[in-house]
Amino acid sequence: MGQNNETSLTFWNTLKSHCGNAYAGTLEIPKEDEAFGGKTLMMHVKSCSENEIKIPFYVGDDKSRTWILTMNDGIITLKHDHRHKDGTMETVNFYGGTSTNQGKSDIQFFPADVHTQKSIPDAATNVWWITIDDTTFTYNLRRLGTDRVFRVVMDLTKPIATPEAPWGWKD
pLDDT value at 2 more than 80: no
- SS3 category, 142: strand
Confidence category of residue 103, pLDDT binned at 50, 70, 90: confident
Confidence category of residue 15, pLDDT binned at 50, 70, 90: very high
- Residue percentage of the chain with pLDDT more than 90: 85
| pLDDT value of position 4 | 55
DSSP structural state of residue 35: T
CA dist., res. 146 & res. 102, Å (int): 27
CA dist., res. 110 & res. 123, Å (int): 12
CB 140 within 8 A of CB 131: yes
| pLDDT value of position 38 | 86
Cβ neighbours of residue 2 closer than 8 Å, sequence gap 6 or more: none
Instruction: Write down the pTM of the prediction.
Output: 0.94
Domain covering 6-155, topology: Lipocalin (2.40.128)
| pLDDT value of position 17 | 97
